[in-house]
Structure 1
């Protein structure tokens, strides 16, 4: 639709940084719960079989990936007085909070009914997440044309994202036990109600505290042109492949956290400490990213941070059940992970500029959507692998002593597979050369826009 852009004064840098950043706090209050506890909730509390959950993760994630593409296409064809991406924060906030609450409920129905309920609510939550998460990526190129400010905005986003993850990892299980008075079903339901309400309010805050730059061109972009533009975008193709390696490793490891420390290390309480380290340490390591990125470049920082993360996981592997050494490894791994994820989100915006420079089309919505779709594919793969490994290992919920095969399966989920995928990620990013030519691309784009 043809509606005039909102005529308002530009936001101050810090107001916009905070406004943009808290959107990831809202997301992580919900999604960290999904990453850390949903598989455990389904198998140990809702009492669904690991094989059924594995199949559900795969099917719903691939189906939900289509909604990413749809939302991205809609963003590229949205033109309101609020901008292209910004309206979705307003309209997606309430569905996101509602489905988060419904997802962590156990209806009093048959086992088959529970599985159907899990399918519906998990798919609904994933779609609602898409409505607010794809715009978080697509709006970044529209907030500023300055590469350093984009890094600052991404740093702010990840600071608040890690803050949300820290809140969940350090308080969620305690709140579940206290609010539920020992009843985990009630506890999870109340915790998700609280996090959902807070997350909804934060998305409203983001909507009112960010502004998109005026759109230079109102040319309608066809799906054929979008696909043609992406096919010619070599930096994005490399970046897209890396998405699969990066997020598959992340989701497999986070889904195995509770199992690893309860079954292998024999200390479920230590899982809370490690989860807290893995969220609070990146929150502060994140502040180093703008400084180091200026010196090393984005790609080199990503590779260096990945190697630091890998070194930390090696220490955890060698540590066995030694709590002190495990914590040292977790701390080092968290530093690398924090810097890697922060610069990853900053890098997302650069292939958008490359595509516009190469083809003359700005398809930030579609590009961000496909990135999101690949993330969903990674999560589907991770969920499928995790469920399959638990089934292969003959994992039995509630047992303090598991079979040796189950222990091997859980170790593979938490350490072996993530380490292998980090290596794949580093090798892939060695071929990413956009940093070298990016200053020239920005100069030429600015000249074209001025004309």
Structure 2
């Protein structure tokens, strides 16, 4: 393969991206519904749920680096990282299903069951997602191509997010027929099967084009040493940790925000404006019949106003996120650089997140408007995060002449999952401190705590990521120079290998 032959076909980009669809079935459920599921459906206290989320993070601190080390040292005819996507597909789907199945146990044993299944799910998430994420970094060394892969990846990921956030609660209602525990188990079972199929497609359609330098010697100690001196990696670790802490915190907070703070009558009236209410006085249209089949229409008695309203809220946000990823991410990054685009967009995302605190309980339209603005500004940052991690792996090779893509990405996957755990635990602790009690009318203090988790607190944690990005040194000009140096170095290595093979053949 020529050194400049780094173009990736659309088919391969889509095949790779389907893997992130699978990951997002789990990720989005954890992001938006995990805490609410544990407290309102599974039947355990918010503090216990928070402890479970944090316990898994302690184990992840050991699992994630090991996965990175193993995947970097995997050598098969399929490459280093692709095989892991295939090997973990079936257990990924199985543990996903078990984690959202409610056994008939006392609360104490439910806590134990939840702790075991959630920890196993997070372990298989590492075994799958660390190599999968690293695969992005070795599919191409071309800066623009890498960004384009990220854009396609996250467009499909956002489609999966739209489906999960928009259809999960209505599916639970439809499949459960009043039994939420049964509905959750069946809905997650469907997502699990689809996830397994998508992972297999990812394995079959992708190709690894970048390999470590031929002279590189395997050394775990050196991997840790290189990483400890990699300033851009530390910046991105903090960015990832606090972004996903924020997303998990805000997702859980908004679940409670819509369920307990926004007035059901106001939600129902808002849905009526968009004709998202079940028709009783006229023959429904075909589209209404389809939407009703999926539970996407509010009932006249307003009993499902929360699930339909919250689903519609999430779907609108994801729709504008997809538009933003498609139209803004690549051109903004190309014009201003990834770092500068990330800083400005994340700062504005923080501002609009904080404004949710000031929404009155009956102003559902205000919440939707802020969600649209927040989604548009957040969208460009989504593919940039993983594209920048590929740049960090390149920086390590450029600086220390050694490449450990899986190890670099394992730390970031740990930061991602730690953020999910910290955010969920923080949300649970805050609402508990303010007196939250599941499935009942909340006190004034509890409502105040819920409003904080949906606005001021996540806005503050977003700002920590903005500050960390200021210290990220791989600017647009720096990256162009680094990629040029690496291309020249790889070309010389290939030329040297070719001459060596010729000499051996002649002798």
Cross-structure match for 1:151: 147
1:120-199 to structure 2, matched below 5 A, reads: 120-199=116-195
Q: Helix, strand or coil for the counterpart of 1:182?
A: coil
Cross-structure match for 2:330: 290
Residue 261 of structure 1, aligned match among 254, 258, 263: 258
Residue 220 of structure 1: CA displacement? 3.9
Give the TM-score, by structure 1 length. Answer: 0.94
Deviation per CA, 1:210-268: give whole Å up to 9, x if none: 00015253544322101111122111121112222211111111122210111121342
Cross-structure match for 1:103: 99
Preserved CA contact (<8 Å) 1:10 1:211: no
Q: Helix, strand or coil for the counterpart of 1:348?
A: helix
- Asked if residue 70 in structure 1 is aligned to residue 111 in structure 2, the reply is no
Residue 159 of structure 1: CA displacement? 0.5
The count of residues paired between Structure 1 and Structure 2 equals 443
Cross-structure match for 2:464: 424
Cross-structure match for 1:271: 310
Cross-structure match for 2:300: none
Name the Cα RMSD after superposition: 1.7
- Asked if residue 445 in structure 1 is aligned to residue 441 in structure 2, the reply is no
Deviation per CA, 1:45-74: give whole Å up to 9, x if none: 121111111111111122123211111011
Cross-structure match for 1:358: 399
Residue 395 of structure 1: CA displacement? 0.9
CA separation in 2, counterparts of 1:297 and 1:110?
54
Preserved CA contact (<8 Å) 1:20 1:157: yes
Q: Helix, strand or coil for the counterpart of 1:221?
A: coil
CA separation in 2, counterparts of 1:215 and 1:339?
29
CA separation in 2, counterparts of 1:214 and 1:153?
15
Q: Helix, strand or coil for the counterpart of 1:139?
A: helix
Give the TM-score, by structure 2 length. Answer: 0.84
- Asked if residue 378 in structure 1 is aligned to residue 375 in structure 2, the reply is no
Deviation per CA, 1:274-312: give whole Å up to 9, x if none: 211232211121012111111010011101211331343
Structure-2 change in CA distance of 1:32 and 1:368 (3 Å): same
Cross-structure match for 1:250: 247
CA separation in 1, counterparts of 2:94 and 2:481?
46
Larger of the two Rg values belongs to structure: 2
- Asked if residue 212 in structure 1 is aligned to residue 208 in structure 2, the reply is yes
Residue 349 of structure 2, aligned match among 266, 284, 309: 309
Residue 365 of structure 2, aligned match among 324, 328, 333: 324
Structure-2 change in CA distance of 1:10 and 1:354 (3 Å): closer
Cross-structure match for 2:378: 337
Deviation per CA, 1:181-233: give whole Å up to 9, x if none: 11111110111110000010000000001000152535443221011111221
Residue 341 of structure 1: CA displacement? 1.6
- Asked if residue 32 in structure 1 is aligned to residue 52 in structure 2, the reply is no
Residue 227 of structure 2, aligned match among 230, 251, 276: 230
Residue 10 of structure 1: CA displacement? 9.1
Cross-structure match for 1:20: 16
CA separation in 1, counterparts of 2:397 and 2:6?
24
Cross-structure match for 2:82: 86
Q: Which runs of 5+ in 2 are unaligned?
A: 265-305, 493-507
CA separation in 2, counterparts of 1:27 and 1:220?
32
Q: Which runs of 5+ in 1 are unaligned?
A: none
